[in-house]
Amino acid sequence: MKAQRAREIYESSDNIKVQLDNGQSVWIENVDVENGVATVQVGQSPTDTQTVAVERLQETSR
């Protein structure tokens, strides 16, 4: 995924499904477009966050 699309999903009021390249469902919590990274919540635990390259994110539905 491109950083701008990750930003659009983050700012959207729609529920857009996203997953990591390993198949884990994530919620985008922040996007740093300039550096091409996003902070994501992995699964259901709000304390399980990771900063990943946006290229690792995949939109599963629009």
Q: Say which residues have a Cβ less than 8 Å from residue 49's Cβ, sequence separation at least 6.
A: 29, 39, 40, 41, 42
Task: Give the Cα separation of 30 and 25 in Å (integer).
Answer: 16
For residue 11, the model assigns a pLDDT of: 96
Q: What is the model's pLDDT at position 44? A: 84
pLDDT at 46: 83
Domain housing 43 = 3-59
The CATH number assigned to the domain holding 47 equals 2.30.30
User: Burial letters for 13-34: b for 16+ Cβ neighbours within 10 Å, e otherwise?
Assistant: eeebebbeeeeeebbbeebeee
Q: Per the structure, how many domains does the chain have?
A: 1
pLDDT digits (tens, 9 = 90+) for 3-62: 999 999 999 999 999 999 999 999 999 999 999 999 999 988 888 999 999 999 999 865
Q: What is the pTM of this model?
A: 0.86
